[in-house]
A and B are shown apart, each in its own frame.
Chain A
């Protein structure tokens, strides 16, 4: 009887380096592996290259050196359609992402672009909207929704493609505390791999057992989130600061 092989890691970045067209180099050899089902927070100061790294994950930016693999599939021109189905990026401004006249059409855009039609498409849309709790808003235009609701629909637009890994860029920014909690509940309920770029350290602690720090274009630290946040020297070195009165030691984080 053969042992079942472990599934390929959702994300495998090795030796990734990138310089902008104007010459400024942003990434100097990033190594990062995220296993299936993990939730990882990507921390780091402004300008560290976090968004640049994220744009490599679905092939929007071409790596100057190094490779990116998503569930074993390398990010290359010939695989881009499948890569973009597997990697679901939720950008910071939901208005950039909700570009169709109604919520339904926005959520349907991804699967429809992949070729889905008819009742199959409808089912995907309804499932995705139900997972974020926005099913009854399907016929609404996006500007009739609150910011938190738009965030959730943006997540749904990506979930509809049934991705391998969900990449979120500052998911809790500009959300009021109730919306933050609602989003956290949704993310916890999903069984998809999550990579979360965030400045919101308590949010990272709440949702992600593991955290990596990107600083000066390389991964400077990779550890259990709570341990990382308790390492004051490390935090200071990379301009990471905890909110006033927040003591990571006092938080009981469920062990994965």
Chain B
């Protein structure tokens, strides 16, 4: 499920978007996506405006359109879903390029494609302008339970380490002439997974020992905190507020 999606999206930069505090950006993007999702699908012009808004943010953040488009490739599975809809949904039929499709199906496909794509684009913009550590601090500031944020922090810190161990185990396995080619080889692969679990768990115990040795008593000491000024909140709010206006117009116009 996660295959191929482990590429970090962060792109270093010193633009105003990069400089915004992370919790402002998180809140802004979330509200933006909520506005997009709440817009009626018939207001096609609204989605064009949303795309323009995101393009504006991307321009300020100096994120190249090529990069953004490349990342939209993640969408491919549900684009496939969407393309099937006009053929499968029952309802009033119409002709499109000589093929008989249903109108509700077309609307459904449009709905899913537009909102899904905008959602991914907004997420990508967020992740590419915010450092990992900042994102976690931002989540904590937004009142996510500190324990949850710590677990996420450890997961990210040791994600690469565990990934490297898995890679080394795979190399060792292949160096001994074993090439997994089919279901009959799953036993060996599962042994690798099992060994990886044991190593990961034991490492977790050792990390705990190291933490205890430096005075850990159950709660992580607060080392950094993120704060935001009114102006920064105002700047971050620009995107979702404009989106909200478009959304309301979409319902009333």
A and B pair up: yes
Interface centre among B133, B156, B157, B209 (most CB of A within 10 A): B157
Question: Judging by beta carbons under 8 Å apart, are B132 and A110 in contact?
Answer: no
What number of residue pairs across chains A and B have CB atoms under 8 A from each other? 74
Question: Judging by beta carbons under 8 Å apart, are A100 and B215 in contact?
Answer: no
Quick check: which of A89-97, A207-215, A234-242 contacts chain B, the rest being far away? A89-97
Quick check: which of B89-97, B108-116, B221-229 contacts chain A, the rest being far away? B221-229
Question: Judging by beta carbons under 8 Å apart, are A85 and B156 in contact?
Answer: no
Question: Judging by beta carbons under 8 Å apart, are B132 and A81 in contact?
Answer: no
Question: Judging by beta carbons under 8 Å apart, are B215 and A161 in contact?
Answer: yes
Question: Judging by beta carbons under 8 Å apart, are A108 and B223 in contact?
Answer: yes
Interface centre among A96, A108, A143 (most CB of B within 10 A): A96
Determine the chain A residues whose CB is within 8 A of the CB of B223 once the complex forms. Answer: 105, 108-109, 112, 121
Question: Judging by beta carbons under 8 Å apart, are B211 and A84 in contact?
Answer: no
A72 is an interface residue with CB less than 8 A from chain B: no
Q: In the complex, what's the smallest C-beta–C-beta distance from A188 to chain B, in angstroms?
A: 24
Question: Judging by beta carbons under 8 Å apart, are B160 and A84 in contact?
Answer: no
Determine the chain A residues whose CB is within 8 A of the CB of B217 once the complex forms. Answer: 81, 113
A153 is an interface residue with CB less than 8 A from chain B: no
Using A95-B161, A112-B221, A113-B216 as known contacts, say yes or no to A101 and B211 having CB atoms under 8 A apart. Answer: no
> What 1/0 mask marks residues of chain B from 209 to 237 whose CB sits below 8 Å from any chain A CB?
11111111100011110000000000000
Measured CB to CB, the nearest residue on chain B to A157 is B214
Determine the chain A residues whose CB is within 8 A of the CB of B158 once the complex forms. Answer: 95, 99
B203 is an interface residue with CB less than 8 A from chain A: yes
Determine the chain B residues whose CB is within 8 A of the CB of A161 once the complex forms. Answer: 214-215
Measured CB to CB, the nearest residue on chain A to B160 is A143
Q: In the complex, what's the smallest C-beta–C-beta distance from A108 to chain B, in angstroms?
A: 5
Determine the chain A residues whose CB is within 8 A of the CB of B213 once the complex forms. Answer: 58, 60, 84, 87-89, 91
B206 is an interface residue with CB less than 8 A from chain A: yes
Q: In the complex, what's the smallest C-beta–C-beta distance from A118 to chain B, in angstroms?
A: 11
Q: Which one of A85, A96, A112 lies within 8 Å of B206 (CB-CB)? A: A96
Question: Judging by beta carbons under 8 Å apart, are B222 and A112 in contact?
Answer: yes
Q: Which one of A81, A95, A101, A108 lies within 8 Å of B136 (CB-CB)? A: A101
Question: Judging by beta carbons under 8 Å apart, are A105 and B214 in contact?
Answer: no
Q: In the complex, what's the smallest C-beta–C-beta distance from B135 to chain A, in angstroms?
A: 10
Q: How far is the CA of A69 from the CA of B76 in the complex (A)?
A: 64
Determine the chain A residues whose CB is within 8 A of the CB of B161 once the complex forms. Answer: 95, 143
Interface centre among B157, B212, B214 (most CB of A within 10 A): B214
A158 is an interface residue with CB less than 8 A from chain B: yes
Determine the chain A residues whose CB is within 8 A of the CB of B211 once the complex forms. Answer: 99, 109
Q: How far is the CA of A93 from the CA of B212 in the complex (A)?
A: 16
Q: How far is the CA of A42 from the CA of B95 in the complex (A)?
A: 85
Question: Judging by beta carbons under 8 Å apart, are B215 and A113 in contact?
Answer: yes
Determine the chain A residues whose CB is within 8 A of the CB of B156 once the complex forms. Answer: 101
Question: Judging by beta carbons under 8 Å apart, are B207 and A105 in contact?
Answer: no
> What 1/0 mask marks residues of chain A from 109 to 128 whose CB sits below 8 Å from any chain B CB?
11011100000010000000
Q: Which one of A101, A110, A121 lies within 8 Å of B215 (CB-CB)? A: A110
> What 1/0 mask marks residues of chain B from 189 to 210 whose CB sits below 8 Å from any chain A CB?
0000000000000010011011
B residues lining the A interface (CB < 8 Å): 132-133, 136, 153-154, 156-158, 160-161, 203, 206-207, 209-217, 221-224
26 A-B Cβ contacts within 8 A? Answer: A55-B209, A58-B213, A60-B212, A84-B212, A89-B213, A91-B213, A93-B206, A95-B161, A96-B203, A96-B209, A97-B207, A99-B157, A99-B207, A99-B210, A101-B132, A101-B136, A101-B157, A102-B133, A105-B223, A108-B223, A109-B214, A113-B215, A113-B221, A114-B215, A143-B161, A161-B215
Q: Which 6 A-B pairs have the closest CB atoms?
A: A112-B221, A113-B215, A110-B214, A96-B206, A101-B133, A97-B210
Task: List 11 additional contacts besides A99-B210, A101-B157, A105-B223; criterion CB under 8 Å.
Answer: A84-B212, A85-B215, A87-B213, A88-B213, A91-B210, A99-B211, A101-B156, A113-B216, A113-B221, A143-B160, A161-B215
